[in-house]
Amino acid sequence: MPSTPDYLRLDKVVLLGRTFDEYVRFFALDEATLQRENILDAASGVSSFCAEGRARGYKITAADAIYHFTPEEIEWKCEQDLQDVMAKLPPIADLYVWTEFPDVQALTRQRERAYRRFLRDYKEQPLSRYVPTVFPQSGFDDKTFTLTLVSHLLFLYEDQLDYAFHLDTLRDLLRITTGEVRIYPITNLRGERSSYLNPLMAELALDGYDFELVPVNYEFLKNANQMLRIHAEERE
């Protein structure tokens, strides 16, 4: 008899779209912040935060390696990834808090809405909005953005992305950001606090950066209810 899976096992980073409203909750964003900041959505994938935020008048840039591909290629991968991930969720449903979504079908509809909203915008907008970017070296100039957001990449994929990738990516994001870098979640796919979190905070403290763990009003994966906020200006 095959064993029951104990968590969502993935061998690669998948494309699952998140919405603007979810980002607001992931990162504790308010109207004043959204209006004031020049925001980078780093490793943005097929989330609709940039599309929806730009439609509201906010200054948001999305950066991801997938923007080297055509809309048709991205759409195909979205469909495959969404189908694969949703099929794996029922046996591990107890790892998730089903208040955000009543069931897998509702979650699927939300993820599909997000990536289709992204695709509509991606087909119409120039590369200045969707910038092909391969982390850990983004290629942006120093201090280009005032706020950088990283959703569902760092920490979550600690089994696929090693410690050096995390550290190099964070140092690069701090280089290109003048205000804050915010990362959500700080858990891995098992719903455990990432083993990289404390060592990374220790190294960043030695680099002269301040950071804090901030509770957020969102929890789907159990224990994924905090973000890491890093102040991008080094201490003197």
Number of domains in the chain: 1
Does 236 reside within a domain?
A: no
Domain extent at residue 177: 20-231
Mean pLDDT (the chain, rounded): 93
Q: Which residue has the tokens 């790892």?
A: 95
Per-residue model confidence (pLDDT) at position 2:
47
> Angle 71-88/104-124 helices, nearest 10 degrees?
170
Does 6 reside within a domain?
A: no
Per-residue model confidence (pLDDT) at position 224:
96
144-164: average pLDDT: 96
Does 7 reside within a domain?
A: no
pLDDT tens per residue, range 163-222 = 999 999 999 999 999 999 999 999 999 999 999 999 999 999 999 999 999 999 999 999
Q: Does pLDDT of 4 surpass 60?
A: no
55-73: average pLDDT: 95
Does 132 reside within a domain?
A: yes
Does 221 reside within a domain?
A: yes
Distance CA 183, CA 40 (A): 12
Integer angstrom CA distances of residue 57 from 51, 53, 88, 108, 144:
10, 6, 37, 28, 19
Residues forming beta bridges with residue 210, ordered by sequence position: 231
Distance CA 107, CA 110 (A): 5
This prediction has a pTM of 0.94
Does 14 reside within a domain?
A: no
Per-residue model confidence (pLDDT) at position 1:
38
Pairing of strands 210-215, 177-184: unpaired
Does 103 reside within a domain?
A: yes
CATH of the domain at 73: 3.40.50.150
Does 208 reside within a domain?
A: yes
